[in-house]
Structure 1
Amino acid sequence: MTSHAPRGRRSMAMLRLAAGARSYRQRARAAGIHLPALGRRPRPDVLLISCTDPRLHPAFIIGSLPGEVFELRTPGGFVPREPDTADARVLTEALRTPTIKDAVILGHSHCPEMSADGPDSLEARHDHVTLQLAALRSLPDTETAMAGPRRLRLHGWYHDLETGTTTAYLPGTGIFAPV
């Protein structure tokens, strides 16, 4: 079905999306988004790697505006390791973006990718975040960005979908504490 389908044939989901698209300018203005500025080159200061799970809404969770965060969403929030993939190219571009000073791995509760790998315990989900931090740290572009003048900082966060709370990994302690 095309976007030009008669109204009677559109699904409720598509009607909701169309209404959202029509109200975008009004909602953007209310949120303080200056639309003409979006036409300029973005200058994100954060790289955020998270899961593709549609229940996870990173920009909403962290309250970011368009252009502030370079987002990479992969199944399970896995750091891409194969160099010739689209995700790896996106990650390379982000790591080479000079304005990015912080990189965040954002894990979450009830992740289908984590459940597929075994027990879905809080400890396993926290371990997943720290493993992805280690994978990110091991990439040559990350090492360069961490050692260079911008001193890229890495962060591991975990979001609980049911409670809406987000915790941050405290390196060297093994503890996740509220952000």
Structure 2
Amino acid sequence: MHHARRHPGMLPETRRRQLAAGQQPVALFIGCSDSRVVPSQITGAEPGKLFELRTAGNVVPTYTPDSASSEMATIEYAVIVLGVPEIIVCGHSHCGAVTALSAAGRGLEQLPAMRTWLGTDGMPGVEQGPEDPSVRTESKRHLRAQLDTLRSYPFIRERIDAGQLRLHGWFYEIDTGLVSACPHDDVEEFLPL
């Protein structure tokens, strides 16, 4: 008879039963697929607290409800069905997707799906070929653009206007471990969390 092996970090049985009964996450966390960006380490959240969406470059697609987009479906489910009160979009330093965007897609010749996902027109107002390998400035600009895209989703805009939902932009620095927050106005400087 085969017995399943217990994972060393397994939760207590009572907590597993609670999680099996349903989920009530406190936030939707939209982050990059980059393996160095680990939402539970950044937030300290336990299982069941974050509804996660990981995409290449933490890209939020333009709202087109008739398209078959798992990203839009995940956002829709988190907001409409689960009723998350917070959405966090987390960008990060040293992001390969943002590097490709700021270089107008150079280096993506062998990655047609990635090229389509990111677009290859470059980022508005970003000089081609950033000299800073951490691409902090470009990544923060990219993060603001994703927040703007989210605000354009009708069901998100309605809930923000009704005071039922808040959007947050976070920026994680891989080399320092620091997390800063995007201000809600036109202030350029991100503030430490």
TM-score by length of 2: 0.74
The one-letter code of the counterpart of 1:134 is D
Q: 1:136 aligns with which of 150, 162, 176?
A: 150
Change (3 A) 1:98 1:29: closer
Q: Determine whether 1:151 maps to 2:135.
A: no
Q: Determine whether 1:66 maps to 2:47.
A: yes
Q: Secondary structure at the match of 1:92?
A: helix
Deviation at 1:109, TM superposition (A): 0.9
Deviation at 1:174, TM superposition (A): 2.0
For 2:149 and 2:51, locate their aligned partners in 1 and report how far apart those are by CA, in whole Å: 18
Which sections of structure 2, spanning at least 5 residues, go unmatched? 103-129
Q: Determine whether 1:116 maps to 2:100.
A: yes
* Aligned residue runs from structure 1 range 34-49, under 5 A: 34-49=15-30
Number of residue equivalences: 156
Change (3 A) 1:178 1:61: same
Change (3 A) 1:37 1:109: same
Q: 2:174 aligns with which of 158, 161, 172?
A: 161
For 2:191 and 2:149, locate their aligned partners in 1 and report how far apart those are by CA, in whole Å: 22
For 1:63 and 1:23, locate their aligned partners in 2 and report how far apart those are by CA, in whole Å: 23
Deviations 1:65-96 (A, max 9, x none): 11111111111001122432121111111121
What is residue 9 of structure 1 aligned with on the other side?
none
The one-letter code of the counterpart of 1:39 is A
Q: Secondary structure at the match of 2:175?
A: coil
What is residue 113 of structure 2 aligned with on the other side?
none
For 1:33 and 1:153, locate their aligned partners in 2 and report how far apart those are by CA, in whole Å: 31
- CA RMSD in angstroms comes to 2.1
Deviation at 1:132, TM superposition (A): 0.6
TM-score by length of 1: 0.79
- Tell me which protein shows more helix as a share of its residues: 1
What is residue 9 of structure 2 aligned with on the other side?
27
Identity of aligned residues (%): 31
Q: Secondary structure at the match of 1:117?
A: helix
Q: Secondary structure at the match of 1:125?
A: helix
Q: 2:140 aligns with which of 89, 110, 126?
A: 126
Deviation at 1:151, TM superposition (A): 2.0
